[in-house]
Structure 1
Amino acid sequence: SPVLEKMVVTRVMLVGTAEPWSETVVASEEAGLVRKMLVDEGDKVRKNQTLCIQDASQLRLKIEAARAVVAEAAANQTRAEREWGRLKRLYSIKSVSKKAYEDAQFAAEAAVKRVARLQVDLYTLLDQVKKKVIYAPVSGTVVERHTLVGQWLGKGDPVVTVTVMNPIRVMVPVPERYVSRINKGDSSQVIFDALPGRTFKGVIDAIIPRADRAGRTFPVRIEISNSKGTIKAGMLGRVTLLIGNPHKAILIPKDALVLSGAGKSVYVINDQTAHLVQVKPGPAHGSLIEVEGKLKAGQKVVIRGNERLRPGQRVKVVSGIRGDAP
């Protein structure tokens, strides 16, 4: 089979795992009893959709009482300000003492401060009631429900877990020998064992610059559109990455490689005589493989019976056997 020289792009296939784009544990902002759960596991939710309602009956009673107190305090404020105004006029014509005037002023200012303080208390209660309704912070899918109707929720207790599955990401451990030759934004192809016959286009979204010490691999995040929700979290993905730029390479059939004392070698035919040439194998391209060594395009290499050959042995060349082009 002839030795080929072609422009090729190095491709590597690595195994990764599909993960949600994000995962949010929605928690209760206030303690309280769960009155209604409006979603279940597997439900799709929209941002700001109601997920859970806590009991707020006691708070509403407190709000009614607080409003009555605020109204009474506001009426007292009006009376105090009116009295202060009356004494202010009288004091200006020396008809009342300074002490009476200052007492009225103090009473009016105290009434204003009391109304402001009571209004803050009322607004706090109203905010607490508002927080008794728990909303979805993002659009996504409920993957776990942490509470039930009738259960007591403490402040900060989890209610549901919502995941964003579109886009979805595939996390791939990339060996250190490749990581410097890929870039954010590079395209990739992903196939999933659970989705036979389908190929998905992906884009490198992030290259995490911290290696796994055991395997010397770097986490790389591949972003894939998943608008139909076909890809599920946890699916095994086989990711094909393009490594570096197109380059000229010497290609031979994989079957031409033999194991010799010096490593990998091939038998080159010259004048119907087999000559052993040591090579260094590189990436594969279908049935062909890149090699480095003293080979030139057009030379003939043995691909059948080469395991039994010896250097200098005479051979009979059979034409018509070729490797696949990359």
Structure 2
Amino acid sequence: MALAVPAAAQFGPAPVSVAPVVEHEVSAGQTFVGTVRPVRRSTIGSAVDGRVVEVMVEDGDQVKKDQPLAQLRTATLEIELAAAKAQLDVMQHELEEWQNGPRREEIDQAKANMLGAQARMEYARSKLKRIQSLVERRAASEDELEDATSAAEAAVQTYAAAKAVLDLAMAGTRPEKLAQARAKVAVQQEEIHRIEDQLTKHTIVSPFDGEVVAKHTEVGQWITQGQAVAEVVELGQVDVEVMVLEDYVAYLRIGTPAQVEIHAVPGEMFTMIPGKVTQVIAQADLRSRNFPVKVRLDNQLVHGRYLIKPGMFARISLPISKLSKSLLVPKDAVVLGGPSPMVYIFEPSAKDPKSGRARPVPVQLGTDHEGSVCVTGDLKAGQQVIVEGNERMRPPFDVRITERAGQPRTAVSSVQAAKGR
């Protein structure tokens, strides 16, 4: 029966890459406690009064920008919109008629009416002259003369009216009438836009990507303008707000790097999450003389859920002192996920400087500095720390230095690698 032997004995030393521990002057870190807050929080209210007919989200749902959250009843508005569009269609046809002017057939008809009126006028005038001549010879009565005179005047008026109709048809549409028709169409179009805007307001949407943390309405409820429908927070990035004593705040600037630890994530220990100072509020609390400072960091999405949530407790390390000598190691050298952060020191063998053993050394983490991190522990400047191949080390820790093959891992990816252990 073969005896079980360690993996290293079966497969040889584990390949690793190393980097030196360096000493550098950096600002020492000070730890502060703070609270995680969302970058944006919005209590979304209704822009109009209405009855809720559908609620599309529940507490904890992820939503996208402009995604509907709730729908109000719109039946009456839809009827108004259909009527307004029909009225616009009528007005547009009227405008088209004014723009095209009278048809050729209408002009011909007006001309024919005028010519007929002209013929009747000439006949009436001729008849009047004849009656006048007969009256002078006493062959016609005064009544006949009055009738002929009246008929002649009526014929003249009829001709004048027919000629005016023809002149109007020949002249085309008056500019004032055309302008009025265009104005009516424009007014009706704006009325349609108003109704469409009202319809849009009856759908309450999310203003940004985020997560619903509170739902304030249900189907059938009547809500008024401004009444809350849901509360949404943005969690792609989060802020950690800490109170910094007035003695330290002068060392902080926008963009100052920070290290954040959050231990409340179930089953995880979030250590050394990089962040940056985004706000130093220029108003201290008058009782404590502390200034609010916000540090922003990227959140981690796992199985469709963000791990860091508003309200969690956090510790932040900020560089708030004068320069002093500190030991720095690459971020990839730090292994997370155990009781404390750890690095592996490479101890070469006497025969081969590229072969040796890896010795685990617990460390305490400090501030960031240009891609490295300050550490304190059983380390010395010039020692070699393992930066690749350190994620899954098991005793007896026999290793051999090889060329570094991959890209440097970030501190957050180290946390993710720690999940598999």
TM-score normalised by the chain length of structure 1 = 0.66
Q: 1:24 to 1:8 in 2, by over 3 A?
A: closer
What runs of 5+ residues in structure 1 fail to find an aligned partner?
Answer: 1-5, 250-285, 287-322
1:198 aligns with 2:275: no
Give the match's secondary structure for 1:190. Answer: strand
Distance in 2 (alpha carbons) for counterparts of 1:122 and 1:7 = 68
Q: 1:241 to 1:104 in 2, by over 3 A?
A: closer
Q: Which residue of 2 aligns with 1:239?
A: 316
Give the match's secondary structure for 2:220. Answer: coil
Q: Residues 62 and 212 of structure 2 are in contact (CA less than 8 Å); yes or no, is this contact kept in structure 1?
A: yes
Q: 1:105 to 1:206 in 2, by over 3 A?
A: closer
Distance in 2 (alpha carbons) for counterparts of 1:73 and 1:197 = 70
Q: Which residue of 1 aligns with 2:254?
A: 184
Give the structure with the larger helix fraction: 2
Q: Following superposition of structure 1 onto structure 2, how do residues 257-272 of structure 1 map, counting pairs within 5 Å?
A: none
The Cα of 1:105 is off from its aligned counterpart by 4.3
With 184-193 and 212-221 compared, the bigger mean Cα shift is at 184-193
Larger Rg: 2
Give the match's secondary structure for 1:124. Answer: helix
Q: Which residue of 2 aligns with 1:136?
A: 206
Distance in 1 (alpha carbons) for counterparts of 2:27 and 2:173 = 91
Q: Residues 263 and 269 of structure 2 are in contact (CA less than 8 Å); yes or no, is this contact kept in structure 1?
A: no
Q: Which amino acid aligns with 2:309?
A: K
Give the match's secondary structure for 1:166. Answer: strand
The Cα of 1:84 is off from its aligned counterpart by 6.5
Give the match's secondary structure for 2:95. Answer: helix
Q: 1:324 to 1:131 in 2, by over 3 A?
A: same
The Cα of 1:68 is off from its aligned counterpart by 1.6
Q: Residues 84 and 104 of structure 1 are in contact (CA less than 8 Å); yes or no, is this contact kept in structure 2?
A: no
Q: 1:82 to 1:145 in 2, by over 3 A?
A: same
The Cα of 1:193 is off from its aligned counterpart by 4.4
Q: Residues 84 and 105 of structure 1 are in contact (CA less than 8 Å); yes or no, is this contact kept in structure 2?
A: no
Q: 1:167 to 1:8 in 2, by over 3 A?
A: closer
Distance in 2 (alpha carbons) for counterparts of 1:53 and 1:169 = 32
TM-score normalised by the chain length of structure 2 = 0.52
Distance in 2 (alpha carbons) for counterparts of 1:214 and 1:146 = 36
1:42 aligns with 2:60: yes
Identity of aligned residues (%): 29
Q: Which residue of 1 aligns with 2:176?
A: 106
Q: Residues 31 and 153 of structure 1 are in contact (CA less than 8 Å); yes or no, is this contact kept in structure 2?
A: yes
What runs of 5+ residues in structure 2 fail to find an aligned partner?
Answer: 1-23, 111-159, 327-363, 365-376, 381-421
Distance in 2 (alpha carbons) for counterparts of 1:110 and 1:237 = 68
- Aligned-residue RMSD, C-alpha: 3.3
Q: 1:81 to 1:209 in 2, by over 3 A?
A: same
Among 218, 226, 243, the alignment partner of 2:291 is: 218
Distance in 2 (alpha carbons) for counterparts of 1:215 and 1:234 = 22
Give the match's secondary structure for 1:247. Answer: strand
Distance in 2 (alpha carbons) for counterparts of 1:144 and 1:33 = 19
Q: Which whole-Å deviations, capped at 9, do the CAs of 1:167-196 have from their partners, x for residues lacking one? A: 111001000100111222222222234247
Q: Which residue of 2 aligns with 1:227?
A: 300
Q: 1:111 to 1:215 in 2, by over 3 A?
A: same
Give the match's secondary structure for 1:21. Answer: strand
The Cα of 1:248 is off from its aligned counterpart by 6.2
Give the match's secondary structure for 1:29. Answer: coil
Distance in 2 (alpha carbons) for counterparts of 1:58 and 1:18 = 45
Give the match's secondary structure for 2:270. Answer: coil
The Cα of 1:78 is off from its aligned counterpart by 2.7
